[in-house]
Amino acid sequence: MQRLDERLMAAKRRLRSKQKLESMLAETRRQFQEEQTRHATFKETVEREQADVTKLEGLSLAGLFYSVLGTKDERLEQERQEFLAARLKFDECEETLSEIQDEMRRLKDELSPLTGADEEYRQLLSEKEAFVAGAGGAASERLLDVSEEIADREAEERELAEAIRAGEAARARLREVQTMLKSAGSWGVLDMMGGGMMATMVKHSKMDAAKQSAHRAQRELRRFQEELADASERLNLSLDVGSFAKFADFFFDGLITDWVVQSRIQEASSACSSAMSRVASAVATCRRRREETLQTIETLNDRRNELIEAA
């Protein structure tokens, strides 16, 4: 019976791994479709904003109109800002699409060796039923049931631990963005006080670095979202964190407004703080559930040992 017990637990682990990967793949496919829609929208926006800038820079009717009114420079600056924000979001979306495709390939590769996990588990359940109906008896059935329950709870614990790790990675990236924003903000103040070309160059360098940091944060948020999609559905967790997909959009909108116009970091920092707060809340929920699950596993293992000793 012990051999059947061990095989049943191993099969249950493989089945749970397969189910988790399938859930993550489904979430990744959903993200890919969402990004494709956003990519098409951003492409249209970039082309439209670029056309607006070109019109104002040339001798178009709009350009002449704003020149006569004495507001052409102001209007042109606004159009350039809108174009830059649109371009940043478009570039981010292109990178994200490429990374999601890589993620889907990885998940498919990991799923491949688990193709027969469902059938393997069904066969072992049939063996269990035959064993219990024969010489096993009620005690053997209880032992096998407890073993299955342990395998389930261990799978839950692993899933929660993975979600916590993904959440902590996302928080670390968001903290990097906040640090970068504070650094760039100080250079913005220096620029306003007459820091000259050097301050402007450093400020632009910081802006580019923040763009890269924001992309890394968006990537980790997307992975965290994948883990949460699985945990929320299969572990009945109440994780109302919304979508992190548009973090970069809000961030880049704030980035342009903050640095180009006002030389401060309020809006971009607010987008970052909001994401950090939602991640922290979800991670805390996962931690509480994991502690409960670990206690349950300990209790079940004690029960399993008692049944083995009594057999």
Q: What is the DSSP string of 59-115?
A: T-HHHHHHHHHT-HHHHHHHHHHHHHHHHHHHHHHHHHHHHHHHHHHHHHHHHGGGT
pTM score, whole prediction: 0.70
First to last CA, the chain: 10
How far apart CA 266 and CA 271 sit, in angstroms, is 9
pLDDT at 29: 94
Instruction: Specify the pLDDT at position 58.
Output: 63
Of 146, 130, 125, 105, nearest to 15 (Cα)?
125
Is the CB of residue 31 less than 8 Å from the CB of residue 245?
Answer: yes
Per-residue pLDDT 10s for the chain (311 aa) are: 558 778 888 998 999 999 989 988 998 999 899 889 989 999 998 888 888 777 766 655 455 444 544 455 666 777 777 787 788 888 888 988 999 999 999 999 999 999 999 999 888 888 887 777 676 677 778 888 888 899 889 989 999 999 999 999 999 998 988 887 776 655 544 444 444 444 555 556 666 777 788 888 888 888 888 888 777 666 665 555 455 666 766 677 666 655 554 544 577 777 788 889 989 988 998 999 999 999 999 999 998 888 776 65
**Which residues does 212 contact at the CB level (< 8 Å), separation at least 6?**
none
CA distance 274 to 170: 13
Q: At a CB cut-off of 8 Å and minimum separation 6, what does 115 contact?
A: none
Sign of the C-alpha dihedral, residues 260, 175, 97, 29? negative
Query: What's residue 2's pLDDT?
Result: 59
Ramachandran sector of residue 194 (left: φ over 0; alpha: ψ -120 to 50; beta: rest): left
- In one-letter notation, the amino acid at residue 310 is A
List, in sequence order, the alpha helices (H) in the chain: 2-57, 61-69, 72-111, 117-131, 137-192, 196-234, 247-255, 266-310
Q: What is d(CA 295, CA 203) in angstroms, rounded to the nearest whole number?
A: 51
Q: What is the predicted pLDDT for the residue at 109?
A: 96
Domain boundaries, given as residue ranges, for the chain: 2-310
Query: Quick one: pLDDT at residue 192?
Result: 40
* Dist. CA 243–CA 163, nearest whole Å: 15
Supply the pLDDT for residue 256.
64
Residue entry with tokens 């979508």: 243
Distances (CA, A) of 256 to 6, 42, 80, 214, 292: 59, 16, 10, 13, 45
